[in-house]
């Protein structure tokens, strides 16, 4: 030991493996008294006497960190297993005190002497476990199938209503052309009835518990929500009207997403089906429903700023990726789905989709760049990938689609999907150059260059 720096080096100087405990030193002669004495490892490292003290240290040779109770060093010493000619260099000793916010004792018991790359990361995962458990219950294969089944039933009814309305419109056109427009809307509140069933009620209750637990964990970790509470409110549509009814209404609105996804222009249909729930059997239900359900859960947090702070502060990206993997969204797609959720939180901080996409800062966010495939830079132009960009702008309409899903008709759905259509066209006009895309939105050059399929679509922000 040198000053307050502790260190312990172990070396197995033979070919065979070994197992043993180090507690007492060999005898040495004390110069002052001339007596032969021994010193314990506990004394040599000057470890704390407190019963609840936890010691963290790193094996520099393997890059792993360990936790051990101080009293175990005092009573039992250090027991190790070493391979032939293996060495251990134990450095960076820290004294930790467990508390409700930092349950180092629980983590120490859970590790059972095993090493991890970061005990701080392991502690974060342990603290988040109650939140992860809630997410697993809310976003499970059972609940995904429940949403998908209800959405399919709703889509079938919507299409039947549209077919009947189309026939009526044809009959009216033949008799009275001036009254030929027939508007279809929600199917007699069926989505609200579906969302009130027992399974959906359990989902909504899990969402409430998620929000309560997340806010509690944030307070334990010392994250203040005061500043975030003063940020912008949740905005769900370009009309800048807040959605009402909370998670129950959002759950009901989400049931109509497959029908509303059909309102995207033909050119965006493939992109919309890749990120939004749809009738496409080639896209796994979990890939599209799981991020939607996660969005509904995070939408329960009071403000976008608070939700984004919790997402980053509690490392919810890892929690969501774990939950998504458990329901069949594996590998990179699980992380992309988590990034999609965070991108929506970021967009909501700007107050609307239009304000977000007009901001250069929005497009500099790492998640946004990844999802849209932005590449280039280093004094070279930066470009979107067409597929990534189109899927992303379709996904950005999710809050507005859910908001209008509970009771609005075809025109409202077309108005929302037109925003994505115009953004996709603006990117095409700009040659998918990020800077030119922002210029197109800023100057309104899009008004001069229209394509037939979106000729009646309004520009974002107009």
Average pLDDT, the chain: 83
User: Model pTM?
Assistant: 0.78
pLDDT of residue 454: 42
Q: In this predicted model, what pLDDT tens digit does every residue of 85-131 receive, in sequence order?
A: 999 999 999 999 998 888 999 999 999 989 999 999 899 888 888 99
pLDDT of residue 353: 87
Q: In this predicted model, what pLDDT tens digit does every residue of 150-165 receive, in sequence order?
A: 999 989 998 888 787 7
**Closest C-alpha among 55, 47, 61 to residue 90:** 61
> Taking 90 as the threshold, does the pLDDT of residue 32 lie above it?
no
**233-237, 305-309, 398-402: least confidently modelled range:** 233-237
Beta bridge partner(s), residue 247: none
- Length of the chain as a residue count: 462
Q: How confident is the model at residue 205 (pLDDT cuts 50, 70, 90)?
A: very high
Residue 24 φ then ψ, to 5° = -120, 150
Residue 64 φ then ψ, to 5° = -110, 150
Q: In this predicted model, what pLDDT tens digit does every residue of 311-335 receive, in sequence order?
A: 998 889 999 999 999 999 999 999 9
Query: Do 436 and 430 meet the contact criterion of CB atoms below 8 Å apart?
Result: yes
**Closest C-alpha among 195, 203, 196, 193 to residue 142:** 203
> Taking 50 as the threshold, does the pLDDT of residue 458 lie above it?
no
Which element (helix H / strand E) includes 92? strand 87-96
Distance CA 235, CA 218 (A): 23
Which element (helix H / strand E) includes 251? helix 246-254
Query: Do 336 and 371 meet the contact criterion of CB atoms below 8 Å apart?
Result: yes
CA atoms within 13 A of residue 101's CA, in its CB half-sphere: 9
Distance CA 269, CA 394 (A): 9
Tokens encoding 5? 């720096």
> Taking 70 as the threshold, does the pLDDT of residue 428 lie above it?
yes
Query: Do 290 and 323 meet the contact criterion of CB atoms below 8 Å apart?
Result: yes
Tokens encoding 161? 């209503």
Instruction: In the chain, count H helices and then E strands.
Output: 22, 10
Non-local CB neighbours of 282 within 8 Å, separated by 6+ positions: none
Find tokens 């000057």 and name the residue: 46
pLDDT of residue 363: 96
More confident call, 437 vs 29 = 437
Q: In this predicted model, what pLDDT tens digit does every residue of 256-275 receive, in sequence order?
A: 999 999 999 999 999 999 99
Mean pLDDT within 243-263 = 84
Which element (helix H / strand E) includes 412? helix 410-429
pLDDT of residue 413: 85
Q: What is the CA radius of gyration of the chain?
A: 29
Domain boundaries, the chain: 8-117, 137-454
Beta bridge partner(s), residue 58: 65, 91
**Closest C-alpha among 332, 338, 388 to residue 363:** 388
Query: Do 348 and 311 meet the contact criterion of CB atoms below 8 Å apart?
Result: no
Distance CA 386, CA 406 (A): 31
**Closest C-alpha among 403, 385, 442, 99 to residue 250:** 403
Q: Is 122 helix (H, G, I), strand (E, B) or coil?
A: helix
Q: How many CB atoms are closer than 10 A to CB 10?
A: 16
Distance CA 434, CA 439 (A): 9
């Amino acid at each position: 030991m040198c000053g307050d720096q502790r260190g312990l080096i172990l070396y197995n100087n033979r070919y065979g493996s070994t197992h043993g405990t180090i507690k007492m030193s060999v005898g040495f002669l004390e110069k002052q008294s001339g007596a032969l004495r021994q010193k314990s490892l506990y004394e040599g490292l000057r470890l704390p006497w407190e019963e609840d003290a936890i010691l963290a240290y790193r094996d520099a040779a393997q890059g792993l960190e360990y936790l051990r109770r101080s009293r175990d060093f005092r009573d039992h010493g250090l027991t190790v297993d070493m391979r032939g000619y293996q060495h251990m260099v134990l450095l960076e000793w820290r004294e930790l005190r467990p508390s409700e916010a930092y349950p180092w004792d629980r983590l120490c018991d859970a590790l059972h002497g095993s090493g991890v790359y970061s005990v701080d990361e392991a502690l974060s995962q342990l603290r988040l476990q109650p939140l992860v458990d809630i997410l697993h219950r809310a976003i499970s294969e059972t609940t995904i199938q429940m949403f998908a089944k209800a959405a399919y039933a709703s889509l079938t009814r919507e299409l039947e209503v549209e077919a009947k309305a189309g026939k009526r419109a044809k009959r009216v056109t033949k008799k009275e052309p001036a009254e030929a427009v027939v508007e279809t809307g929600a199917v007699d509140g069926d989505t609200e009835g579906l969302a009130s069933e027992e399974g959906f009620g359990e989902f909504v209750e899990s969402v409430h518990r998620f929000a309560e637990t997340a806010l509690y964990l944030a307070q334990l970790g010392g994250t203040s929500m005061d500043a975030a509470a003063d940020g912008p409110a949740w905005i769900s549509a370009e009309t800048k009207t807040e959605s009402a009814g909370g998670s129950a209404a959002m759950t009901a609105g989400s049931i109509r997403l497959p029908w509303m996804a059909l309102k995207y222009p033909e050119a965006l249909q493939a992109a919309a089906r890749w990120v939004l729930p749809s009738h496409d059997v080639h896209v796994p239900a979990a890939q599209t429903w799981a991020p939607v359900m996660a969005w509904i859960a995070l939408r329960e947090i009071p403000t976008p700023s608070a939700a984004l702070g919790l997402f980053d502060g509690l490392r919810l990206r890892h929690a969501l990726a774990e939950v998504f993997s458990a329901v069949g969204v594996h590998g990179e797609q699980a992380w992309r789905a988590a990034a999609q959720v965070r991108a929506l939180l970021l967009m909501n901080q700007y107050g609307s989709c239009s304000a977000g996409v007009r901001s250069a800062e929005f497009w500099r966010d790492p998640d946004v760049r990844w999802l849209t495939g932005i590449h280039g830079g280093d004094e070279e132009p930066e470009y979107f990938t067409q597929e990534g960009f189109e899927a992303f702008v379709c996904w950005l309409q999710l809050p507005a689609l859910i908001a209008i899903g509970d009771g609005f008709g075809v025109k409202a759905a077309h108005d929302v999907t037109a925003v994505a259509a115009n953004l996709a066209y603006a990117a095409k006009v700009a040659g998918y150059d990020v800077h030119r895309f922002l210029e197109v939105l800023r100057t309104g050059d899009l008004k001069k260059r229209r394509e037939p399929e979106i000729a009646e679509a309004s520009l974002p922000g107009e």
